[in-house]
Amino acid sequence: MPEILLHYIWQKQLFATFPQHTIDGQPIEVLSPGVHNTHAGPDFTNVHLRIGSQEFYGEVEIHIHASDWNRHHHQSDPAYNHVLLHIVRDSDTAVYTASGREVTQCQLQYPGNTDYLSRLVIAAQQMDNAFFSITCSHTLLRDPDLLTYGWKKALLHQRLNCKKEAIQRLLNITHNSWEEAFYITLAHHFGFHTNGIPFEQLAIQTPLLYINKHRNSLFQLTAILLGQSGLIDTMQSADAEALQREYRFLKAKFTLEPIDKTMWKRLRMRPQNFPETRLRQFARLLHQSQFLFSRLMEARTVAQMQTLLTLQPLTTDSSDTLLPPPPLGADAVRTLIINTAIPYLYARGKETEAVTLLEQLPAENNRIIRQWQTLGQKVKTGADSQALLHLFINYCQPHRCQNCDIGYQIFLQNGISA
């Protein structure tokens, strides 16, 4: 049995009708299988699980035999320190991270017809991704209007409500501080998908209170963020030595602890997207934008939000000793508006304003949206792209066709009771 087959079973949740348990008998509920990682490190990131009565977010590694963990030397690789579940077909040994923690394991239960599953994998490799990922693709090609305006509107509000729930979870851990919660969310989306988790962890371990104490000094903000990333000691830039000295002072002052630097990913990444560059940009934004959260909540137009989130030319002497990062592109600024400012407007009860702003923004351009466009869908605004992202992630990927309005219409057309 090829390991790719286990990857496929996990990604498509073909195990959903089978009860899953850890090796020691705790029930496992897969709330999200996460995102397949094409970079170095664990196989799936952004995984959301409930093990027993506790919820976890993290990473999953998959092998045929548990002993493959050691054969691949993961036991000595810090990049695997944050794996929360080891999915295997055969649990032939306990496994441990480089930090010495025993990794929870699950011997995955799934449909037994491996010939059928193997044919699905071969088909997936042969077919265009745009058609394979969306089960009803051929029907939608013939009749794009099956995806109605009403269903897209409902999907948009579902997505915004999911983001509202995530904001509420942050408010719970920040003692109801909207500014602190927003700072963590903003940091997460500065990771732009690939490095969202380490950015968020950095913000959690670097409280906004400490950021605010040094907001007027770009040099100190840059030092504290690069230092907390765990990457500062490996930097070889012209300003590295000065930043390292400053971080040692700030680390002692606030009793800070940096995150694990192995969390960062940079494989197949352009230099302008490297974590060090994004961290310098984040420092610039925090430096220039006092009361950023309040000002964004008071903004009434997309243009006002763009101005607030666009990096401005430096007006202080602090730029003399720092390497200037490239500016944030227009697409990046729009991504921050869609994923940070607008969800917080929605969460604060300004639902109409949030939706109106999304309708004024151009649609996002990514692989998922291009799939929908290939199927004849008109994706013009941020409201359109957010609705279709939600549809793909929450209905198409987990094959929840019976809960989808498109699937329901197809069932009716074919005389099938939904």
287, HSE (Cβ side, Cα atoms, 13 Å) = 25
Rounded Cα gap, residues 401 and 109, in angstroms: 22
Give pLDDT, residue 13: 83
Convert the pLDDT of each residue in 32-84 to its tens digit: 898 888 777 899 998 999 999 999 998 999 999 999 999 999 999 888 998 99
Give pLDDT, residue 402: 85
Distances (CA, A) of 153 to 15, 65, 245: 31, 45, 52
Same-domain pairing of 121 and 161: no
Same-domain pairing of 110 and 179: no
Say whether pLDDT at 320 is over 60.
Answer: no
User: What percent of the chain shows pLDDT beyond 70?
Assistant: 91
32-36, 46-50, 232-236, 279-283, range with greatest mean pLDDT: 279-283
Give pLDDT, residue 118: 61
Distances (CA, A) of 312 to 247, 307, 316, 328: 25, 9, 11, 10
Contact 70, 95 (CB under 8 A): yes
Give pLDDT, residue 142: 84
Position 237 confidence tier, pLDDT thresholds 50, 70, 90: confident
Same-domain pairing of 316 and 223: yes
Tokens describing residue 93:
């040994």
Tell whether 59 is covered by a domain. Answer: yes
Last residue of a domain, one of 360, 384, 403: 360
Same-domain pairing of 76 and 194: no
Say whether pLDDT at 316 is over 80.
Answer: no
Domain that holds residue 43: 3-126
332 contact partners, CB below 8 Å, separation of at least 6: 192
Convert the pLDDT of each residue in 150-196 to its tens digit: 999 999 999 999 999 999 999 999 999 999 999 999 999 999 888 99
Tell whether 201 is covered by a domain. Answer: yes
Convert the pLDDT of each residue in 90-105 to its tens digit: 999 999 999 999 999 9
Same-domain pairing of 91 and 201: no
Same-domain pairing of 116 and 36: yes
Give pLDDT, residue 47: 92
What pTM was estimated for this model as a whole?
0.74
Q: Mean of the pLDDT values across residues 140-154?
A: 92
Tell whether 22 is covered by a domain. Answer: yes
Say whether pLDDT at 208 is over 70.
Answer: yes
DSSP string, 259-287: PPGGG---TT--GGGSHHHHHHHHHHHHH
Give pLDDT, residue 132: 46
Higher pLDDT, 298 or 316: 298
Burial of residue 408, with CB atoms counted within 10 A of its CB: 0-12 exposed, 13-18 middle, 19 or more buried: middle
Same-domain pairing of 120 and 158: no
Same-domain pairing of 16 and 114: yes
The residues that bridge with 57 in the sheet, in sequence order, are 48
Rounded Cα gap, residues 143 and 121, in angstroms: 27
Give, to the nearest 10 degrees, the angle between helix 218-228 and helix 240-254: 80
Helix%, strand%, coil% for the chain, nearest 5: 55, 10, 35
**Amino acid residing at 83:** V
135 contact partners, CB below 8 Å, separation of at least 6: 396, 399, 401
Rounded Cα gap, residues 343 and 129, in angstroms: 30
Tokens describing residue 118:
């193997």
Number of domains in the chain: 2
Same-domain pairing of 178 and 237: yes
Rounded Cα gap, residues 122 and 19, in angstroms: 27
Convert the pLDDT of each residue in 98-141 to its tens digit: 999 999 999 999 877 666 666 655 555 544 444 446 778 878 88
Last residue of a domain, one of 321, 343, 360: 360
Say whether pLDDT at 319 is over 70.
Answer: no
Tell whether 145 is covered by a domain. Answer: no
Tell whether 143 is covered by a domain. Answer: no
Contact 387, 371 (CB under 8 A): no
Last residue of a domain, one of 310, 329, 360: 360
Tell whether 12 is covered by a domain. Answer: yes
Give, to the nearest 10 degrees, the angle between helix 196-205 and helix 178-190: 150
Tell whether 415 is covered by a domain. Answer: no
Tell whether 228 is covered by a domain. Answer: yes
Same-domain pairing of 82 and 193: no
Same-domain pairing of 116 and 259: no
Same-domain pairing of 178 and 288: yes
